[in-house]
Each structure stands twice: as structure tokens, then as C-alpha cells.
Chains A and B, each alone.
Chain A
Amino acid sequence: MGRESSERPTYTILAIITLKKERILGGSQLALWAENEEQQKTMTQDIAKAMKADVVKMKNGDYLIIRV
């Protein structure tokens, strides 16, 4: 990608919503633990709507909320 990564837009990770407590290791973003998938989806959507942000579903099942 080269220079592309330094061009706008810059992304900020606002939150991570996980199903496994041990994956919460810290960092500047909000890290939340959900009890089940349904709760995880709802939490993700609520935060994303409020923050007008985008959502990435990671292959390991965690959700990232990202703002451009």
C-alpha cells in the first residue's frame, strides 16, 4: 500500500466487543465482553449507531467498531 496508509482517511478503533474475557488485554479503545452472540451483536450495533461508526466482524468472532 505504501504511501496510501499515510493518506487520509485515518481510522480509529473505538471499541472491541468479544465473547472471550481473556482477549481483553487493554489499549485505548473500549473493550467489552458479551455473554452470547446475540448480546454481542446488539452491543455492537448500539455503539456503532451512537458513534456513527463502521463495524468489522473479525474471523475469530470479535467485533471491532471503527471510525473513519
Chain B
Amino acid sequence: MKENIISTDHLIIIVTATIVGTMARALTIKEDFRQYPTYPNGYLIHLVTGFVAASLGAVAIPALMTKNFVAVTFLALAIQQFRDVRKAEKESLKDLENTESAYRGDAYIDGIAKTFEARNYFALIVSFTTALTIQLVDSKFISINIMSGTITGLIVLYVIKRFSKGKVLGDIADVKEGKIEVRESELFVDGIFVSNLLGTENAANMFQKEGLAVVIIPREEHFRIALDHYGQRQAALFEATRSVGVKRYHFTRKEYEKGKIVITLVPIIKDVNKLIEAVKKTPVLESVKKSHSVMDTNLFGRE
């Protein structure tokens, strides 16, 4: 009977690795200025899936050590589970599209969903390396095993977190306040035409008095490629409307000559610094990002 019970060593590996893995997921759940995931249900869902991911990573080493090679194939199951997390996230955000002040857009939703999937891999990798370290150290002192496993797990978390960290608009462009001007029924920001939807006097007056605008100016010519992407601009507009609210109207427009992007709206909270901060912190979408240095390479194929 006792032979069928899991050994203390393996139990320590599994428990420690699961805790460190779940902790890794908990540390990467950010309720930042984007207010996503929303407290508390969003937290719970992602903590539980993180716990499952960590458990799968934790039992892999004990399974291998007991020559239970077939059991390792459940890692494939884990991948499937994470894909489902991505799918669920995508569906949920798409369902919400019609209720938001501005659309997130498909590109932004895809980016968010991918991030959620990736963070489950964090939990899996961290718990796996924690378990592996404990197995390799294999000291007779339990505390040394646990400490070494935890430290390695945290280092791995730091490294993959750095690796997966993306850029934000503030890294590639300057964001400054734009001057709103309404000429008859047309809206201009810093002289750039934005919209002619201000056909009534009320609309024109409202925009003139209460409107806020920011202009995004690319720092390098090649950053225009990312900024011109419709999904990227939509993401910036979404973050802008999320941070200061929308009383009425929101527009985005690109200027062709220098690649400036205008974001303007009539906000609920008239705080231009908040608006600039939100736009600066909008992530540069993965689907938009291009490596400029790769475009310059001349390894083969050219004389």
C-alpha cells in the first residue's frame, strides 16, 4: 500500500514548484492603468488557470523520475488548455466591443489574448525549472532544495518577463498636446484636418470648449510604419477613451506628410496629462512590430 503513495521528495518538488509557478502567474497579473483584467473575477479566472499550468509543469519531473514517460505527454494537453485560454479571452473581448466607447480593434484583442496565453507558459516554465532545480540539487536538507528551486524559478521568471516585455508608443514616438481649432463645421488639430462631423453649432462649441487633443509624432521615419497601422491607432484611441472617458465624439486621423497621428475627443475628465500618459503607455502591437535592423541585413541574395 505504502509503495503506491508518492514519496516525500517528489511531494516537496510538486508542492514547491506548483506554489512558485502560481506565484509567477500572480505576479504577472497586472491591474494597471488599463484596468484589465477587472477585479475580482478576472483575477480568479487567471489565477486558477495559472495554478493548473504550474501543476502541469511541476509534475513533469517526478513523472520522468518514476519512468512514467507517457505521463509527460500531458504537456501537450497543457498547450491545448492555454490555447483555449487565448480563445476564451478573445471571444470575451470581442463580445464587449459594442459596449465600449471606442473599439479595441481586432489587432489589439489578438495581442491581449496572446499575452494571456503567454503568461500561462510563464507559470509552466517557472514551475518546471523549479522542479528541475530541486531534483538536480538533491540536497539532504529540504530547506536548501526548496530555496534553490524558488530562487531559480524567480530568476527564470525575471528573464522571461524581460524577454516578453513589449514596447509602448512612448518609446517610439513623442506625444504632445494638440491645439484644437473649429473652422465652421470642420475640426482641425495643429492645422491637421480631422473631421467635418461638427455640423451643428452645439457640436462646434462643445469641441472648442471641452475638447482635448494629442498629436503623436514618430521619432524615426521607420516608426511611421507601426504608427500608420489602423489597428495600432485604434488601440491608442481605445486607451485614450478608457482613461479620460468620452462625453461625445472621438476621432483619430493621420497626417501623410510627416506621419503625425491625431487623437482627439470630448472627454468626461478634462485632464490632458492623463490623456498623454494613456497614449504613451499604449502597447506597440505585436502584429505591427517590425524589426528595422532585420530589414537592413545583407547576408545573402544581394551582390
Q: Which residues of A line the B interface, CB within 8 A?
A: 3-4, 7-9, 41, 44-45, 48, 54-57, 63-64, 66
A35→B197 CA distance, assembly (Å): 24
Q: Is the CB of A44 within 8 A of B230?
A: no
Q: Is the CB of B230 within 8 A of A57?
A: no
Tally of contacts, chain A with chain B, CB under 8 A? 35
9 contacts between A and B (CB under 8 A): A7-B105, A9-B103, A44-B199, A45-B200, A48-B200, A54-B197, A56-B197, A57-B199, A64-B199
| A21–chain B nearest beta-carbon distance, Å | 21
A54→B199 CA distance, assembly (Å): 8
Interface of A is mostly: mixed
A48→B196 CA distance, assembly (Å): 15
A41→B196 CA distance, assembly (Å): 16
> Which residues of B sit under 8 angstroms from A4, Cβ to Cβ?
230
- Against A, the Cβ 8 Å flags (1 = close, 0 = not) of B71-105 are 00000000000000000000000000000000101
- Judged by a CB distance under 8 angstroms, whether B184 is at the interface is yes
In this complex, how many residues of chain B approach chain A with their Cβ under 8 Å: the count is 14
- Judged by a CB distance under 8 angstroms, whether B185 is at the interface is yes
**Minimum CB distance partner of A66 in chain B:** B197
**Minimum CB distance partner of B248 in chain A:** A54
- Judged by a CB distance under 8 angstroms, whether B136 is at the interface is no
> Which residues of A sit under 8 angstroms from B185, Cβ to Cβ?
55-57
Q: With A8-B103, A66-B197 as given contacts, are A55 and B230 in contact (CB-CB < 8 Å)?
A: no
- Judged by a CB distance under 8 angstroms, whether B48 is at the interface is no
| A25–chain B nearest beta-carbon distance, Å | 21
Q: Is the CB of B103 within 8 A of A57?
A: no
Q: Is the CB of B199 within 8 A of A56?
A: yes
From A3, A8, A55, contact of B199 by CB (8 A): A55
